[in-house]
Structure 1
Amino acid sequence: MIFCTMGLYASDACSAVYSALKNNLLYAMIFVMLLRCDFRKLAKLGGRMIAIFLGCSLTLGLGFLVFYPVFMGPLGGGEKTWAAVAALYASWVGGSANMAAMQDALPVDSGAYSCALALDTVCYSVWIALLLLAVRYANKWNKATKANTSGLDAIAAAANAEVEKDKARKATSGDWIFLIGLSLLVSAISQSVGAAMNAGLANVGLDMFDKGTCTTVFVTVLGLICAMTPLGKLPAVEEMSNIYLYAVVSLLASTASVTDLLSAPMWVVYGMLVLVLHVVVMFILSKIFHWDLCMVSTASLANIGGSASAPIVATAYDASFAGIGVLMGVLGAAIGNLLGLGMGAILHMFV
């Protein structure tokens, strides 16, 4: 962003390199990221844990929708911000990789994207601290909601067994080369299929689905299907998806100026209010369904921080709950892109 502000990237050559790299790496990242999302593993969570996770996803989405009309102007105007807010919501359903994945599926403004990243960073840091602080008040929450914690140990054991299976596999140089080649091949094929889908849908009057949206949906579905094949057992999948994520975020930041962050404080306020509403509604749902604070906190952080962050809060309650946090984060990665597209369709109505 600093180099962009200084004008170092303002050349036709840099623009050509950016265009060539961004989409190829972006769709490769989505595919590799979703290879972890085997729904057979996620079934180990059980219906109750999945319901808590989806409750967190929906209450966060409610917060974004309720406060967006109020903050649309201060954030920078509806035309510039609706897609960035939808991308941010995708990020808050399973981690930052989902936000990057939305970059081509929606017309995300680079300046608004930078502010959304600032919101994500600040709110995530505050939120994880508050969730860890709340551990000492778990008994009060559970008493108020009459929480049902029976069966947690069995779910934790099943989830941990799945996580340990993945850790046992060690990647070789051949695995890395195969995964890179496969992901880039899938990226190229997906872009061709996305263009064909876009043309076909336009012919039947559904031209609101542009090439980026069609490609994102296709590669998401393909990744989820491949996750249930031997490809889903490839080692180094998580490491490779992180490498792609760092590369994609760096590319996106290279088109944004530091001056775009001037409206970032209002974005942070917006994010904090979303979290406040999230807590209030989740407490009401917990009263109705008797959800305990441990799983609510774990699901909340699995949404906002992804599979790498959720175990931090889960293990603050019990070391054996780490696997539940990981699988919740994986569930978010699986559905985040689709929920982000849905949020984008709704927010676009405000423009």
Structure 2
Amino acid sequence: MEKSTPLITNDAVVLGILLILLGFVFKTSSSDNPFWRKFYSYVPSLLVCYFLPSVFNSLGIIDGDHSQLYFVTSRYMLPACLVLLTISTDFKEIIRLGSKAVIMFLTGTVGILIGGPIAILFFSYVAPSVLGADSEEVWRGMTTVAGSWIGGGANQAAMKEVFLVDDNLFSKMVTVDIIVANIWMAFLLVGAGKSKLMDKYLNADASAIEDVKNKMEKYSASISKIPNLSDLMLILAVGFGVTGFAHLVSDWIAPYLLENYPGLKQYSLTSGFFWLIVISTTLGLILSFTRLRELEGAGASKIGSVFIYLLVATIGMKMNVLAIFESPGLFLVGIVWMLVHISLLLIVAKIIKAPFFFVAVGSQANVGGAASAPVMASAFHPSLAPVGVLLAVLGYALGTYAAYICGLLMQFVSR
């Protein structure tokens, strides 16, 4: 079905609406009003910032696909905020978080890898009509979702070509991918606001994560000052200066690798966005060993968080909950698939007593990639954003391998 033109197409107006929504959320979340205090005790403010733009999108007032704002926030503000959030990182403390982060990430990967075949088997026995007459078409289309949920857009495109998915089916699968993944992200954001309760359920020791958060807060307090105009300009100069350099280098590396080593495309190594994220994060971590680390005292992470919230709003703007009713069968398959991923994550987390932080970030590093994994990590604390980035980069590396294996398994169970 072709999408109708949204009521508002001017991005300047859309940006104004998004900022008004964010302003409303932050004003009410810091209010002493009993209603708002109770409301935000149940619903995290980050989730509201994500959900309100999706309502406007679903009602046809704005359209995330029509707007260029997501491109701007993901290509300019995301790398800048990664620099500003990582510039004060205590790298030794991040390393001390240990192996549980990687274990939960790999568990999430396996959950998606086996979830697709399990979802197909489930419906082939319980409700064959959901898959329809052409199960061959369904499993081929689902390989693109596997590529996206384990790696990212480049891996998704690779699966489209490898398994010969036609454009019409591909567009439906992209919708399934976005809606199901974003619904799960909403639940994770709620869980982030109740992380201590979730950790208690998982019998998890979150002391290492709390140590990172507490040390970061103490460090920020020790160097805190009222920023002047010079401080703010320097923060923006560092954030966007590194972003500009990362764009410059990625614009050279990606085409060079594509031309000279085309086989690397299947590993996302020819993706400009991949190198943009890797370079900006790496430079942010390098700068954390310099005196620029003291910019945290002038509010570097706060400005980075502003960019994060704008990114969240533009991600929410791409979600149209009404699209579920256009292909309900495919969405049911996607939901069962995601439930397998979630169940495996929770089972393993319970066994190894992993904190909910690792469940949420391990999942989003797979399902959401570099755009949402640091957002999820920042929902726990801005200083934890690098964990999300590092795991998301690992997802890019594994994406094509795991998605291809998942595709073969789905082909096998569809016979």
Structure label with greater radius of gyration: 2
1:56 aligns with 2:110: no
- Tell whether 2:353 aligns with 1:298: no
Cα pair distance change 1:185/1:81, threshold 3 Å: farther
Stretch deviating more after TM superposition (336-345 or 123-132):
123-132
1:230 aligned onto 2:287: yes
| CA RMSD of superposed structures (Å) | 4.6
Q: Partners of 2:389 and 2:279 in 1: how far apart?
A: 14
Matched residue, 1:198: 258
TM-score by length of 1: 0.64
Q: CA distance change for structure 1 residues 178 and 225 in 2, over 3 Å: closer, same or farther? A: closer
Shift of 1:155: 6.3
Q: Tell me the alpha carbon deviations over residues 210-238 of structure 1, each in whole angstroms, 9 at most, x when there is no partner.
A: 88744234223312321124388562233
Confirm or deny that 1:88 pairs with 2:149. yes
**In 1, Cα distance between equivalents of 2:139 and 2:234:** 47
Paired residue type of 1:195? P
Q: CA deviation at 1:190?
A: 1.7
**Where does residue 181 of structure 2 map in the other structure?**
120
How far apart are 1:281 and its partner, in Å? 2.7
Task: Look up the SS of the partner of 1:5 in the other structure.
Answer: coil
Distance 2:348 2:246 in 1: 40
The answer as to whether partners of 1:67 and 1:270 remain within 8 angstroms in 2 is: yes
- Aligned pair in 2 of structure 1 residues 214, 182: CA closer, same or farther (>3 Å)? same
Q: CA deviation at 1:138?
A: 3.3
Q: Distance in 2 between matches of 1:153 and 1:178?
A: 32
Structure 2 residues without counterparts, runs of 5 or longer: 8-64, 124-130, 161-169, 365-372, 409-415
Rounded Cα–Cα distance in structure 1 between residues aligned with 2:100 and 2:261: 36
Structure 1 unpaired stretches of 5+: 10-16, 91-101, 313-321
The question of whether the paired residues in 1 share the 8 Å contact of 2:180 and 2:331 is answered with yes
Q: Write the distance in 2 (CA, Å) between the matches of 1:86 and 1:39.
A: 33
2:90 to 24, 41, 54: 41
Q: Give the superposition deviation at 1:161.
A: 2.0
Contact 2:267–2:399 (CA<8 Å) still a contact in 1?
no
**Could you tell me whether the CA contact under 8 Å between 1:159 and 1:327 is conserved in 2?**
yes
- Shift in alpha-carbon separation, 1:192–1:246, aligned structure 2, 3 A: farther
Q: Deviations over 1:110-161 (max 9, x none)?
A: 543332232233334445667849938938x64xxxx7x5xx6576345322
| Identity score, percent | 9
Q: How does 1:244-255 map to 2 (within 5 A)?
A: 244=311, 246-247=313-314, 250=317
- Higher relative contact order (Cα pairs below 8 Å, separated by 6+ residues): 1
Q: Is the 8 A contact 2:178 2:319 kept in 1?
A: no
CA contact (8 A) 1:302 1:310 kept: yes
Q: What is residue 243 of structure 1 aligned with on the other side? A: 310
Aligned length: 298
TM-score (norm 2): 0.55
1:187–1:80 distance in 2 versus 1, CA, 3 Å: farther
* Deviation at residue 269 of structure 1 after TM alignment: 2.1
Match of residue 341, structure 2, among 242, 267, 274: 274
Cα pair 1:82 1:344 within 8 Å, conserved: no
CA distance in 2, matches of 1:215, 1:303: 23
1:160 and 2:214 matched: yes
Q: Check the 8 A contact 1:302/1:329 in 2, yes or no.
A: no
Q: Is the 8 A contact 2:81 2:308 kept in 1?
A: yes
